[in-house]
Every structure is written in C-alpha cells, then in structure tokens.
C-alpha cells in the first residue's frame, strides 16, 4: 500500500511533466514549421537562383568561345601603329597644302652621320617621338598594372571559396574583379596614350565586354560545383526538418493518456542485465539486445500502443527489428507494469525471434490498484 501511494505521487509528478513536454512539442512544431523549415526552403531557393545565374555566365562564355576565334594579345608594335595612324589622320587636314612641293630624301650615309654629329641634343617636350615606353615588369610602376595582375591571378589561379561564389552570384556583378582592356594594355606599356577616337572607344568597349564574359565564365565553372553541393546540403536540411515535423506531429497526436502521463517516459532509456544478456528499452523508440557490452540485435522499433480496457494495462509494440537467421524479423511486446522503480523486470522468447518484456514504472500504477488493496469501510464495520 505504501509503495502504491508513493508510486501514485510519482505518477502525478510524471503527469505534470508529460503535459509540459507535450506543450513543448507543440511549440517546437510551430517553430520548425514557421522558422527552421521556412529558412531552409528560402536558402535552397536562393542557392538555386545563384546556380541559375552562374549557368547563364557559363553559357554566355561557351557561346562566345564557340562563335568567335580567340583574340590574340596585341603587341606593342600593333598598339603604337594604331595610335600613330589615328594621330596622322586627325592632323592631316591642318598641315596639308597644295602649294608645297613634295620632299624627296635620298639615302646618303655620310649626310646621316654628319647630321647626327652636328645636331644639338633637344628634349622633346611633347614626347611624340617616344609615345609608348616599353613595359619593364621589374621596374617600379604606378601600381595599376600590379593590381591588374593580382586580379588576374585571383581569378585564374586561386581557388574560389563558397563565400566568394555566393557574393559573386548574389550581387550579380561578376565584372568588378575582371581585367579591363585598359588594364591589359597597362601590363604592356607604362604610359598608354590618353587620346582616342570614337571608333577606338567602341572597340575598347567591345573587347572589355568580351573579356568580362570570358572571366565570368571561368568564375562560374569554378563556383558551380561548390554551389551545387550547397544546394544538396540545403535539400538535406529541408528533408531533416520535414522528418522532425512528422515526428512531432505524431508525438502531439499520440494517445499518451489524459493527462499525458506516458509522455514523461519517452526517450528515457533503461539498460539492464538479465542473465548473459543486457537489454535496453527506450520507450516509444526502440529495444536493443547486448552481449558482453556489444550490441548484437535490434529487437524492434516502436510501432503502436495498445491498452486492455478491463485492466487498463498498457503494452508497447516494437516491430521490424533485425532479421533472424532463416527466420522472421525480430519483434517485442513490452508490457508496462506498476512498480516503485523504473526497470526491466524480465524478458522471454515465446516463439522464435518474438520476445516479451515486462517493464515496471510508477507511471503504470493506478488509483484503482490502490483502492483494491485498501480495506473497504463495510469490511471494517463488520470486524
């Protein structure tokens, strides 16, 4: 009688705990639905958009590679000749005159020698006879070429991180780290000529765009594998959140009783030695079997709960455990019995790979059990 009274007190505490846990399950369910799952879906969709943008960059670069021959890097002679021709065309009308006789120069080595000896040294202020000084990679510069080379190295050599790829794809400005046509010329000449024609500007703009497209394509090819792996991670996260939602929905709707006293048992694993084996019961989850500390069998995963209407005895059914050799998959029926302590009382195997377990807990005790043990007032009066 004292044991039952103590057990019923424990059961009342368990009922309060079970209600708190059930309320917490409801709150967690809403949190996962509205925050964690929604966030995972949003991240997945954003990554898909980033992948789509990267594929557009890759496709544009592939079409450019397939549709036009590769442009060779211009040589210093080509650049100087183009600039000189542009200058000559611009000043032709200003200096032309029909009254002037054409000048004819005859090759005379002696004249050349004497001219070079007699002519004084004169600095050319406008620098037209030395328009472009050849670029020396080892000489000091204004820093522009160095930045261009650094940008080129970062794109062409250094591996892209996922953070960089997200930044590129998210902002949609892939060209800011690419080398412009002017930067490419700066790598060949220290002082590129500032003057240009409208046609030259148009050609530069075209070449700039082409170069940006190719650079963007290279970045996209490096980033796509990283972004695709990120998309798969987000998809796994979504699947995980959906499984958690399914488990919590099942827990919230499960008949733990009124009040939900049995909810306090969920996940409270008990491991106990019986003979040469050890058994572990995690209520509403699984039952495992051990030998010498090593797990040897999964006896089943929780499937359903049943209750005897007359005795109010609760049985937990575990199915689809490990397969027996040339036999069925293991299963176990766990009968909850009233007891002062939570423990595995006994385990037997009435048929091959079909087990029965008795699991004692104060939460299985009832007021009716106590009432049956207490003497009735009528019997007391008769005595």
Average pLDDT over residues 368-373: 74
- Residues 181-206, mean pLDDT to the nearest whole number: 52
| Nearest Cα residue to 358 out of 274, 297, 293, 277 | 274
Nearby residues of 335 by Cβ (< 8 Å), 6 or more positions away: 313, 314, 315, 356, 357, 358, 359
Across 27-31, 36-40, 63-67, 316-320, least confident range: 63-67
pLDDT band (50, 70, 90) for residue 256: confident
Dist. CA 226–CA 163, nearest whole Å? 10
- The predicted pLDDT at position 376 comes to 61
Whether residue 103 is predicted with pLDDT greater than 50 in this model: the reply is: no
Q: Quick one: pLDDT at residue 370? A: 74
The pLDDT of residue 42 is above 80: yes
Residue 367 has pLDDT above 90, yes or no: no
Task: Give residue-wise pLDDT tens across range 285-326.
Answer: 999 999 999 999 999 999 999 988 777 889 999 999 999 888
**Structure confidence at residue 329 (pLDDT):** 94
pLDDT for 382 equals: 47
State the average pLDDT over residues 62-75. 63
* pLDDT tier at 19, thresholds 50, 70, 90: very high
- What is the rounded average pLDDT of the residues 44-49? 92
**pLDDT of res. 311:** 77
pLDDT 10s digits, 141-192: 444 434 433 443 334 435 778 888 888 787 544 444 443 333 433 344 344 4
Separation between Cα atoms, residue 284 and residue 269, nearest integer Å:
10
328: left (phi over 0), alpha (psi -120 to 50) or beta: beta
The pLDDT of residue 225 is above 80: yes
**What are the phi and psi torsion angles at 242 (to 5°)?**
-65, -40
Q: What is the pTM of this model?
A: 0.56
Cis, peptide link before residue 259, omega less than 30° from 0: yes
In this structure, of 22-36, 73-87, 90-104, 300-314, the range with the lowest mean pLDDT score is 90-104
Please, are residues 6 and 370 in contact by the beta-carbon 8 Å criterion? Answer: no
Spatial contact of 304 and 332, defined as CB atoms under 8 Å apart:
no
CATH, domain 267-372, list 2.60.40.10, 3.40.50.970, 1.20.1050.10, 2.70.130.10: 2.70.130.10
Residues of the chain with CATH 2.70.130.10: 267-372
pLDDT computed for residue 323 by the predictor = 92
Q: What average pLDDT is seen over the chain?
A: 75
The pLDDT, as a whole number, for residue 204 is 66
In this structure, what is the dihedral angle of CA atoms 25, 30, 36, 40, given to the nearest 10 degrees?
Answer: 120
What is the reported pLDDT for 283?
94
379 pLDDT higher than 70: no
Candidates 266, 246, 278, 273; CA nearest to 336 is 266
């Amino acid at each position: 009688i004292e044991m039952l009274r103590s057990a019923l007190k424990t059961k009342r505490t368990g009922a309060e705990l079970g209600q708190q846990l059930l309320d917490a399950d409801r709150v967690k369910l809403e949190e996962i639905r509205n925050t964690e799952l929604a966030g995972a879906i949003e991240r997945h969709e954003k990554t898909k958009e980033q992948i789509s943008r990267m594929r557009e960059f890759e496709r544009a670069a592939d079409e450019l590679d397939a549709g036009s021959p590769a442009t060779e890097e211009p040589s210093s002679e080509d650049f100087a000749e183009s600039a000189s021709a542009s200058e000559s065309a611009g000043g032709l009308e200003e200096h032309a005159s029909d009254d002037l006789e054409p000048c004819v120069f005859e090759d005379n080595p002696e004249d050349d020698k004497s001219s070079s000896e007699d002519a004084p040294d004169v600095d050319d202020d406008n620098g037209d006879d030395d328009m472009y000084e050849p670029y020396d990679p080892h000489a000091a510069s204004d820093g522009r070429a160095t930045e261009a080379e650094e940008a080129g190295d970062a794109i062409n050599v250094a591996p892209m991180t996922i953070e960089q790829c997200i930044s590129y794809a998210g902002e949609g400005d892939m060209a800011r780290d690419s080398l412009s046509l002017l930067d490419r010329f700066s790598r060949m000449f220290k002082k590129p000529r500032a003057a240009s024609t409208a046609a030259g500007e148009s050609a530069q703009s075209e070449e700039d765009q082409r170069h940006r497209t190719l650079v963007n394509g290279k970045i996209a090819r490096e980033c796509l594998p990283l972004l695709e792996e990120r998309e798969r991670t987000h998809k796994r996260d979504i699947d995980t959140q959906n499984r958690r939602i399914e488990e919590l929905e099942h827990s919230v709707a499960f008949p733990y009783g009124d009040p939900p006293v049995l909810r306090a048992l969920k996940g409270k694993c008990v491991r106990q030695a019986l003979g040469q084996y050890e058994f572990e019961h995690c209520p509403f989850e699984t039952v495992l079997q051990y030998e010498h500390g090593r797990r040897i069998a999964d006896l089943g995963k929780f499937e359903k709960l049943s209750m005897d209407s007359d005795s109010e005895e609760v049985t937990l059914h575990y199915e689809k455990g490990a397969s027996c050799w040339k036999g069925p998959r293991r299963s176990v029926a766990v009968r909850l019995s009233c007891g002062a302590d939570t423990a595995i009382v006994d385990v037997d195997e009435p048929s091959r790979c079909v087990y029965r377990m008795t699991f004692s807990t104060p939460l299985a005790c009832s007021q009716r059990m106590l009432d049956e043990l207490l003497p009735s007032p009528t019997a007391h009066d008769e005595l």
